[in-house]
Amino acid sequence: MDDISTLIILGATGDLTSRLLLPGVGRLLTDQPGRRLKIVGADLPTKDQDEWSATVKSAFDSAGANGDAVEHALTHTRYLPTDATSPEQLRQLMEAAEGIPALYFALPPSVTARAINALHDVGLPEHTVLALEKPFGTDQQSAADLNRKLASLVTEEQIFRVDHFLGKSSVLNILGLRFTNVLFEPLWNRDHVAKVEIVYDEQLGLEGRAGYYDSSGALIDMIQSHLIQVMALVTMEAPTSLEAADLRAVKTEALRAVRPWGSDPATASRRARYTAGTIDGRQLPSYVEEEGVQARRETETLAEVTLESQSWRWAGVPFTLRSGKALGERRREIVLTFRDVPHVPEGMQGMISPAVLRLRLGPDSMSLEFNINGPGDPYVIDRAHLMTEFGEGRLNPYGEVLNGILQRDPSLSLRGEAAEQAWRVIDEIRGAWSNGRVPLEEYAAGSGGPEHWGK
């Protein structure tokens, strides 16, 4: 199967393109010096060719990119001023493609939806790949509509719904850990696991992204787009193979089983917004004081939801998904806490806590905490930690996802129904929030969140 030879980026002047996409391409091309890729930047604001070439160069430099493939991409890259919602201009854009093109939508969901509509009047070259950034739609209904429109343009295998978390080493290692050891999978169920936490607490604040973030908030930006997909990898059954059809089938099945804990989205969720504070000596204004923020939108910067996978394997095990900005500590991990042992032999002393497995997301590492007879008094239990680093991936997460796109292998992208299922859960929670059933709380930037939440 031929690879993609032209990557067309819609939304080329945006932050995502320069900060994440192009550096990801740079890493990928460094790793694959034989690849020949033409990058076409397209956007409304008129950048000239020189400015665009400089953007690509500085993004590649920031990723330490070098080698033949990088030089080739730099020499051949082009910029075409384009209104992504105009069929005529999209047609001209597609004419700039050589070989099989991938059209990457680095655009807000509303513009993406209009661009997809416009594409219906443009003849797409055979095998064209469509790659869509998160969020995919704005709710379950709009995601379903978008899926229908995409399906009338290309086949499901040509659609890549991007989630860069699926390219993170620790996340991919869930597969290796679970399915290549006999050690963990037999315990990976409600009989042995007491609770699971999937946490992505960041120290970063808004970083000038109000235009996007203020209408998304932590629930959509992180839990809908990323953490619920990670939950699916933790809860899914074993796939027969890592081929897209097999892997995405079990993952989608896992998402279908997800419900708010206790089937009550109000008691299963909490939300909060940061006020002014200090993080590592850095002064942050209150979220509502940030440029471009509209306080009346009540956008949360910290969200926590407790979910259940209603299945034989997981019923009764709480999965807490949490993510927030401007927190005092970076905590990014998947934590499985196992159950207590049924009986501790009399005479055993010391603190006996359940075993804990942690998969840390950046720096990617894993630790298993468990009890052993410690040195010294052999009847006193000590805690031991087994640690291993996953090390830097060959590519960064965006590079890994782009690698799938260029090879036209959608294993790491979401299947259409997976995106809709994620929205189904989030829509229920948002419903409870907009009905006023879950108060918007506050926490000082640099703290651990609202005091009474605990950890």
- Per CB under 6 A, residues contacting ligand BG6 are 202, 204, 221, 225, 397
Q: If we measure between CA atoms, which residue out of 55, 56, 125 comes closest to residue 90?
A: 125
User: By C-beta, is 221 or 417 nearer to ligand BG6?
Assistant: 221
Question: How far apart are CB 365 and ligand BG6 at their closest, in Å?
Answer: 15
User: By C-beta, is 201 or 308 nearer to ligand BG6?
Assistant: 201
DSSP for 145-209 reads: HHHHHHHTTS-GGGEEE--GGGGSHHHHHHHHHHHS-TTTGGG-STTTEEEEEEEEE-S---TT-
Peptide bond before residue 135 is cis, with ω within 30 degrees of 0: yes
Question: How far apart are CB 325 and ligand BG6 at their closest, in Å?
Answer: 7
Residue type, 444: A
What's the length of the chain?
Answer: 455
Residue nearest to ligand BG6 (CB): 221
CA distances from 135 to 4, 174, 401 (A): 24, 24, 16
Other Cβ atoms within 10 Å of 345 Cβ, number: 7
Rounded CA-CA distance 424/314 in Å is 19
Q: What single-letter DSSP state applies at residue 50? A: H
User: By C-beta, is 193 or 326 nearer to ligand BG6?
Assistant: 326
Cβ-count burial 99-109 (b if 16+ within 10 Å, e if not)? ebbbbbbbbbb
Question: How far apart are CB 327 and ligand BG6 at their closest, in Å?
Answer: 12
Question: How far apart are CB 202 and ligand BG6 at their closest, in Å?
Answer: 6
Q: If we measure between CA atoms, which residue out of 262, 259, 261, 284 comes closest to residue 273?
A: 284
User: By C-beta, is 330 or 437 nearer to ligand BG6?
Assistant: 330
Question: How far apart are CB 109 and ligand BG6 at their closest, in Å?
Answer: 13
Question: How far apart are CB 14 and ligand BG6 at their closest, in Å?
Answer: 12
Q: How far is CA 168 from the centre of its chain?
A: 9
Question: How far apart are CB 162 and ligand BG6 at their closest, in Å?
Answer: 10
- Rounded CA Rg of the chain: 23
- 226 carries an active-site annotation: yes
End-to-end CA distance of the chain, in Å?
49
Catalytic residue chosen out of the listed positions 76, 192, 226, 343: 226
Question: How far apart are CB 71 and ligand BG6 at their closest, in Å?
Answer: 28
User: By C-beta, is 217 or 416 nearer to ligand BG6?
Assistant: 217
Give a three-class secondary structure readout of 321-334: EEEECCCCCCEEEE
Q: What angle do CA 135, 139, 140 make, to 5 degrees?
A: 115
Q: What single-letter DSSP state applies at residue 349? A: B
Rounded CA-CA distance 9/20 in Å is 12
- Tokens in use for 410? 């959608």
User: By C-beta, is 33 or 363 nearer to ligand BG6?
Assistant: 363
User: By C-beta, is 400 or 420 nearer to ligand BG6?
Assistant: 400
Rounded CA-CA distance 203/328 in Å is 6
Question: How far apart are CB 165 and ligand BG6 at their closest, in Å?
Answer: 7
Residue type, 351: M
User: By C-beta, is 205 or 416 nearer to ligand BG6?
Assistant: 205
Q: In degrees to the nearest 10, what's the CA dihedral of 154, 155, 156, 157?
A: -110
User: By C-beta, is 22 or 90 nearer to ligand BG6?
Assistant: 22
Residues involved in catalysis: 226
